[in-house]
Amino acid sequence: MATPFELQSAHACHGGAQRFYQHASRETGLPMKFSVFLPPKAVAGEKVPALLYLAGLTCTEETFPIKAGAQQLAAELGLALIAPDTSPRGAGVAGESDAWDFGVGAGFYLDATQAPWAAHWRMESYLLKELLPLLEAHLPIDGRRLGLFGHSMGGHGALTLALRHPGRFQSVSAFAPIANPMNCPWGEKAFTGYLGADRTAWGEHDATVLMQNQPIAPYPGGILVDQGLADKFLIEKQLLPEAFEAACAAIGQPLTLRRHAGYDHGYYFIQSFIGDHLRHHAQQLG
């Protein structure tokens, strides 16, 4: 059966298949790329649970599958791994390259409301309304068993999308997330550009504020967050995991926030603990 996305490359990997795709997105109005690892069960045609991984700034759909070292355990656990590109690309918008200093231009996994970003910077709608339905329809992925995780800007995306779309994801975790963007320089810059000056709108995309406003604990099975204590962005008060920790405690949301001496913000940190995250999701997805 023909699919609405084009296979760019495919590689045998731990008995499964690592694939890279591109398609024309109706939500962003631009070509979008993503990667999918299918474990052996999925290659054989069985529908499997899947994890959506959201990467951080400067990353692409290739970063996680190349650097995280997740495929071997994912194959053993029978988990598919989906990694979209982090941002729209090639819109020709002035300032688009400012993404590299955490300005506007980076995806931030939200739908922008301000010009000139609103036309293409629609990452939330792209993921929830377009990419996931496409993959569930055309690949052996069980849409009822989805987990969500991410790193840095993608950790922000994982926490906020999990809270903004109750019931869509059955499990959530994050590596070094930007946990309270309203109150850090990165978030203030990006939110001002994408959402305007109204801080009320900002709160709708801040994991700490969203958790504070939950009527009951949304993930009773627990949320897992890992944070390196040698992470310069933690030291510079860009991440603020303590704010999210306090918000979870206030409403009784089970949270395992692990702080690791000596670990920084990069993919050696992610490699070190990726197994724990895959097992966390596998346990909750069944």
Q: CA 277, 232, 190, 87 torsion: positive or negative?
A: negative
* Alpha carbon distances (Å) from 211 to 28, 172, 223, 252: 28, 13, 12, 10
Active site residues: 152, 231, 265
Query: What residues contact residue 134 under an 8 Å CB cut-off, 6+ apart?
Result: 3, 4, 5, 23
Helix runs in 44-152, H state only: 63-67, 71-77, 123-125, 132-138
Query: Rounded distance, CA 79 to CA 43, Å?
Result: 11
Peptide bond connecting 116 to the previous residue in cis, omega within 30 degrees of 0: yes
Which tokens in the block code for residue 20? 């890279």
The 3-state DSSP class for residue 71 equals helix
Sheet with 223-228: list strands edge to edge. Answer: 6-13, 16-24, 31-38, 80-84, 48-54, 141-151, 171-175, 223-228, 255-260
* Alpha carbon distances (Å) from 106 to 55, 100, 284: 11, 7, 31
Which tokens in the block code for residue 16? 């499964």
Instruction: List beta partners, residue 6.
Output: 22
For residues 107 and 84, the answer to whether their CB atoms sit within 8 Å is no
What is the amino acid identity at position 259?
R
